[in-house]
Structure 1
Amino acid sequence: MNRRIFTLLAALIPILTLGIVGSVVTVPFVALGPGPTFNTLGEFDGKQVVDVQGAELKSASGNLNMTTVSVRDQLNIFDAFRLWIDGEHGLVPRAEVYPPGQTRDDVDKSNQQQFKDSEDSAELAAFNYLKLPTAVQLANVSDDGPAKDVLRKGDELVTVDGKHIVTAKDVVAAVSSVKPGTTIGVVFRRDGVEQTAEITLAPRPDDSGKGYLGITPDEISKGPVKVAFNLGEIGGPSAGLMFTLAVIDKLTTGDLSGGKFIAGTGTIDPDGKVGPIGGIQYKMIAAREKGAETFLVPAANCNEAAQRTPAGLRLVKVENLTGAVQSLEDINAGKDVPSCG
């Protein structure tokens, strides 16, 4: 009898030890997987996800869903193994998501700022596409730059060296084309009052031989139309494209979605260029599980997306905003569209 008990204990001890270790010890990995998906034409917590004010809104039905990636941290051995084999998650070294030297709070704040920046870019991209008014405002004036005693943060630029300013790139082009030491005229608007000043350009700090004002221009929307985005606790820049499409859909006649369930992802800049994102495979899974039949994919993500496309999901290749809108209109008309296949 004692021998049987001893044999049983000898067998159980490794199992119990493994169970304790597997439940307690964490692994240096995080699990990436499908995250929440939100209809940018709908509501979240009682508010419009994309709230457009100051204009007559058009009806917008169907879905234009933005997608996200979930991140699970502090995994024990059993959690990691279970998520690894379920087919919907992937394990990556924790340092890829939370770099050494940065706290989780630091990373979360950075992601939230990227999300805020994506909202601003989405608004500007939509305004530029719809030919709504924008302006170039100074986000910063360097303390040691040539403009420090003339311009202030918040000033709106009208012309620089006689060139009309519409975008931040216009400022760079106007200043860079003039040699250092040259005095140029600047027309700006402060507190609604237009003013004129002359500033002598300094050499750029990078020794490129180009002129330098020491300002940071920032393009902003202007006029009666205002846009608010009401999704909290989301991070990263990848909602830009879908936010932009929602603004356009609410301000133009006809449904971009055609009443269907469209999802997608992609960064966007004020000029409408669509950029790549991470975690495309998990976003496609999330979209398909919620009922999406079409997914807008940044062109740079097409090869990766085509390798792991969920069954029943059509991939549409998108390079820019104009192309995205055209593809949605062509889908509604039954025409062929660029694909990732």
Structure 2
Amino acid sequence: MKRRGWTVLLGAVFVALLTWQSLSVKVAYVALGPGPTVDTLGSVDTKDGEQRIITASPDHSTESTGELQLVTVRVYDEVELARAIFYWLSDEYAVVPRELIYPSDQTDEQIAQQQTEQWTQSQSSAETAALRVLGQPVRVVVTQITPGSAADGVLEAGDVITAVDGSPVTSAQNLAAQIATQPPGTEREITFTRDGKSEKAKATPGDGGQGSAFLGVSLEQQQDNPYDVKINTAGLDIGGPSAGLMFALGIIDRVDPADLTGGLNIAGTGEIDDDGVVGPIGGVAEKVIAAKDNGATVFLTPEANCPAAKGNVPDGLTLVKVGTLDEALSALSALREGKQPPLC
């Protein structure tokens, strides 16, 4: 081979090596893709064998013919440039800066702990919201009074706060929100139950800092659970808050004799608070794909997530818009009756 031929060949090999090396370099991005789905009405494998995810006492437990799937997002970390390009070109994945998923000011252990705490809280709020629908209201009970505060001399430990200025108090969070609607120094009427008797008293919340009104009470939420509802997620490797809505629906369906699913495979997502308000979550574009891949025909979508979900919805999947647990239940009722629920 002539010298020029060797030069071209060696140059081509050198370029190929450089290209391969550059494509193998890990980038500061992660990929988000469709993750596994879990039927909250189904079972999970645990160290003690297969167990139901949501259970109730035998006297109250019912069965349904469909599914209520929670959906997840799988995170692909330590992505090479070549794979990042593949994910970026795919309609099923999103490529985002790693900093958005793994903030540099937190350790991996701290992030994992936060995900676990959110996961646990989502189940607690789901149970609270579901039991309220099932006829078990929340009692907001005073456990301690801050000396010198607005509540000092007005409320006592053991009082159950039922209203502020005539508006019902439905949770500790709701009470804080109602107190915050007026600036510090505004007189408020507090309705409470003491020793089984309803009473009313005036209190003027002070400044709790940064201009927020401070009543001066420590609270505990109490709620009856006559159905002995329990959520068992020991066999699930999932974190974050986004399964709240589907857990709440699963609890109601486990206890309510009516089959909420109507035989349909229904998926959904959304954070939920104690009052049943459904909040937006991340990764909804990938979650709708996961739902469709696992046979769902309906996807319950937090209202704020509708624009992102609509941009990636697969054929055959109906996006139902929900803002509260009550709206989700109304939407499922409409589907069972053959009517069209509110759509994204």
TM-score bin, normalised by smaller chain: 0.7 to 0.9
Which of 224, 227, 247 is the aligned partner of 1:225? 227
SS at match of 1:66: strand
Contact 2:179 2:213 in 1 (8 A): no
Within 2, Cα distance between the matches of 1:186 and 1:134?
A: 13
Same amino acid, percent of matched pairs: 35
Within 1, Cα distance between the matches of 2:108 and 2:151?
A: 38
Question: Is residue 271 of structure 1 aligned with residue 275 of structure 2?
Answer: yes
In the other structure, the counterpart of 2:15 is 14
Offset, 1:57: 0.9
SS at match of 1:226: coil
In the other structure, the counterpart of 2:30 is 30
Within 2, Cα distance between the matches of 1:139 and 1:298?
A: 35
Contact 2:227 2:255 in 1 (8 A): no
Amino acid at match of 2:277: K
Question: Is residue 297 of structure 1 aligned with residue 301 of structure 2?
Answer: yes
Which of 181, 188, 206 is the aligned partner of 2:209? 206
Offset, 1:106: 1.8
Deviations 1:250-299 (A, max 9, x none): 11112111111111111112222211111111000000011111111111
Deviations 1:197-244 (A, max 9, x none): xxx9873323759553152x3534334333333333312211111111
- Cα distance change, pair 71–313 in 1 and its aligned pair in 2 (3 A): same
Offset, 1:39: 0.5
In the other structure, the counterpart of 1:196 is none
- Cα distance change, pair 110–145 in 1 and its aligned pair in 2 (3 A): farther
Deviations 1:113-172 (A, max 9, x none): 112111111111101111125333579987997889xx99xx765348999975313477
Deviations 1:178-198 (A, max 9, x none): 96999x998789xxxxxxxxx
In the other structure, the counterpart of 1:131 is 135
Within 1, Cα distance between the matches of 2:285 and 2:93?
A: 9
Offset, 1:326: 1.4
SS at match of 1:316: strand
Contact 2:68 2:265 in 1 (8 A): yes
Amino acid at match of 2:224: K
Q: For residues 1-341 of structure 1, what are the structure 2 equivalents within 5 Å?
A: 1=1, 3=3, 4-23=5-24, 25-45=25-45, 46-53=50-57, 55-136=59-140, 157-159=159-161, 167-168=171-172, 169-170=174-175, 173=178, 203-206=206-209, 208=211, 210=213, 212-215=215-218, 217-231=219-233, 232-340=236-344
Scaled by the length of structure 2, the TM-score of the pair is 0.81
- Cα distance change, pair 105–210 in 1 and its aligned pair in 2 (3 A): closer
- Cα distance change, pair 74–118 in 1 and its aligned pair in 2 (3 A): same
Amino acid at match of 1:287: A
Indicate the larger mover: 87-96 or 205-214.
205-214
Contact 1:59 1:254 in 2 (8 A): no
Within 1, Cα distance between the matches of 2:141 and 2:89?
A: 51
Amino acid at match of 2:35: G
Indicate the larger mover: 131-140 or 233-242.
131-140
Offset, 1:80: 1.0
Offset, 1:312: 0.8
Within 2, Cα distance between the matches of 1:9 and 1:141?
A: 81
Amino acid at match of 1:290: N
Contact 2:140 2:161 in 1 (8 A): no
Deviations 1:281-328 (A, max 9, x none): 100000001111111111112222222210111111112111211111
Indicate the larger mover: 269-278 or 201-210.
201-210
Amino acid at match of 1:12: V
Within 1, Cα distance between the matches of 2:262 and 2:62?
A: 14
CA RMSD of aligned residues (A): 3.8
Contact 1:295 1:315 in 2 (8 A): yes
Within 2, Cα distance between the matches of 1:62 and 1:43?
A: 14
- Cα distance change, pair 82–141 in 1 and its aligned pair in 2 (3 A): farther
Q: Number of residue pairs matched?
A: 331
